[in-house]
Structure 1
Amino acid sequence: MKLLSHQSRRSFSLSLLSLLGGSVAVALEKRNVAAAKREDNREEVTVGTVEEFFSAIAPNRTIKLEPITYRLSNLNPNTRSQYARLEKVFDGYELIISDVENLKIIGVGNSPSRLLTQPRYAEVLRFRNCHNLTIENIEAGHSPEPGYCHGGVLYFADSDRISINRCILFGSGTIGITANRIQQLSCQNTEITNCTYHGLTVESSNEVKFTNCKWTKNRDYELINIGNSSNVQFIKCEFIDNFSSNLGSVNDYLFFNLQSSQFYGLKEDNLILVKDCIITDNYFAKFTNNFDRINLVNTRIENNSFRLER
């Protein structure tokens, strides 16, 4: 929903003044002025080192990253703030960002700013209890070694109003995006590539939408995992050249894995919508384990190893 400008809010409130009476309209005017002031006071910080990036993490802030590489593994493990800390994993540390609201992390160059981590068990960025979060024009992944065990790229838990735009999320992160107990996640114009477990996992979440995104060259297990979630949509997305290396084994991995039996018997808005997409040159045992829960609309599906069987 598009926010009204401060001027529009004032005009609207003055109109109410004549209709509702002084006290109600004046109270509304004061509330709208306060909201506009909070938005105008969002602090912008431009950072050029990984230490500056860490220190800048805070609510009501736009962090602008120069178009360089930020190596999160170079941070001192003892570094911490009210909203960010480094947490021990098996082979190093991972960055945890928590309890922030109205935070934007934006690459400001023509090419994405790079966020890299070295530990194979670490998420590149893990967010907990964050609200109104934007990540834009960022390339994130593991370097130099593959994350074969547990480390994904972007992990969100217990958060809401997340926006991801114009990003590249690459393996060898194990999972491109994990959304766990999320309300409203919008991902646009983003590529997820070379992940070694799954391209996406959505669990116990609502209103998750991908638009003009691409999954390519992801490998080994299921590509898309969705469980206990509703209102999940893929619009104008491409799924090209992804594969399971275990085809023909006892584990027949799926292109779409709908993990929970709770999908059965749910109302229509809990269908997975796949609209105006391209699904081609993918190598999996089956398309899905629950065809009735996927609504395919104007989607081209061709040259894959699986057949569309109900």
Structure 2
Amino acid sequence: MKNKDRLKGFFSGIIFSIIIGVFALGVTVFAAPIESKLSVMYDNIKIYVDGALFQPQDANGKDIKPFISKGITYLPVAALSKALGKDVSWDGKAKSIYIGRKPDTKAEEVTVYNVNELYDALGSNKHIKLKPGIYNISDLNQDSSKSKNIYWESVYDGNELILDEINNLTLEGLGDKPVEIVVEPRYANVLTFTNSRKISIKNIKAGHTIKKGECVGGVFNFDVSKDIDISNSILYGCGTYGIIAKDTENLKFNNSIIEECTYGAMTLYDCNDFVFANSVIRKCENFNLIEIDSSTNIVYDKCEISDNTSSDVLTVSLSNGVKFTNCKFKNNNSFDPNLFLNVDFTGTTFE
């Protein structure tokens, strides 16, 4: 039998073995000096990725052929990972192959006293505790980037710090009051996270140094990210919005404040499973206070929305599962909840 049908799904059928060595990973793999021989059979196995025939090749452009041994189909890990847009790496110490994101490890705890120490500590699997003070990101040396994941991006009047593909990071302010993180450029967001996950921000006050009304950038920007937790924090203007989120899921905002932002409190596009609880949105101005577009399951529970002069308190487009439960709307620009038939206002009051 030629075992043509023994490929048991992509990952379940890939057998990670030291004997694959250079063939599988495209990098040299060292192991204990144990000799092992395989009887293999090549059967002109074809690989299709999303319906398209794919021919794996090594680093020199030579075709790599899958083979069968003892009823198991062996595939070239590096080539297939590349076809799926995933990085692949080998950890000889852990004897592990990683395709795409590596698993979270225990976060390294670091205490920092100034913005340079904060910058040096940034990265995945970190729990950074900030001593009381003001951390001005614009004071950092911006001539070069820290890494491919932490870099500067030019905006109209300065640079913006981008944290890309950061996983399992906590920023926690120490002390009785939130520790302040600020930026100077009007066009910069205070912090921008892209393609990131498991981000926790605790006891942090964030905003811009310039006077109210002159900002074009927001406070926290999340793009294609997930598992965000913001608690006991203050996001303030002149930032345009406290939260800008796109294609992001599972964000929790608890016991926190968004205040005095110049465009509105938040703009959410293509987001899912957000919960704002026991929080305050106040004294924001101008445009849409809460803007929700193409999103699902956006919940506000026991929140106070007060003293806002935004032209529209709420706009909801192409979204479902939007709820304001046990909230209080008070002293805002005119707002008629009856216009939002698909929004649940259970237990919410309007004054």
The runs of 5 or more residues in structure 2 that have no matched partner are 1-102
* Bigger relative CO (Cα 8 Å, ≥ 6 apart): 1
Amino acid at match of 2:110: V
Structure-2-length-normalised TM-score: 0.68
* Cα pair distance change 1:149/1:108, threshold 3 Å: closer
Between structure 1 and structure 2, the one with the greater Rg is 2
Superposed, 1:155-166 pairs within 5 Å as 155-166=221-232
1:109 positional shift: 1.3
Structure 1 vs Structure 2 CA RMSD? 1.6
Structure-1-length-normalised TM-score: 0.77
Superposed, 1:14-53 pairs within 5 Å as 41-53=106-118
Question: Any idea what the Cα deviations from partners look like across 1:54-79, whole Å, max 9, x if unmatched?
Answer: 11111111011111100111111124
Aligned equivalent of 1:223, options 268, 279, 289: 289
Runs of 4+ in 1 over 6 A off after TM superposition: none
1:271 positional shift: 2.6
Aligned position for 2:130: 65
Aligned position for 1:255: 313
Is the 8 Å Cα contact of residues 119 and 147 (structure 1) preserved in structure 2? no
Amino acid at match of 1:56: A
Aligned equivalent of 1:176, options 215, 236, 242: 242
CA distance in 2, matches of 1:289, 1:254: 14
Aligned equivalent of 1:89, options 139, 155, 170: 155
* Cα pair distance change 1:76/1:288, threshold 3 Å: farther
1:283 positional shift: 1.2
Aligned equivalent of 2:200, options 117, 134, 144: 134
Aligned position for 1:102: 168
Please say if 1:195 is aligned against 2:244: no
CA distance in 2, matches of 1:279, 1:119: 33
* Cα pair distance change 1:70/1:289, threshold 3 Å: farther
Question: Any idea what the Cα deviations from partners look like across 1:53-109, whole Å, max 9, x if unmatched?
Answer: 111111111011111100111111124222311211111111111111111011011
Aligned equivalent of 1:282, options 318, 327, 332: 332
The runs of 5 or more residues in structure 1 that have no matched partner are 1-37, 245-252, 264-269, 303-310
Which structure's residues are more often helix, by fraction?
1
Aligned position for 2:56: none
Aligned position for 2:346: 297
Question: Any idea what the Cα deviations from partners look like across 1:164-187, whole Å, max 9, x if unmatched?
Answer: 000000000000111110110000
SS in 1 for 2:288: coil
Percent identity reads 36
Between 39-48 and 114-123, the greater mean CA deviation after superposition: 39-48
SS in 1 for 2:138: helix
1:292 positional shift: 1.2
1:40 positional shift: 7.2
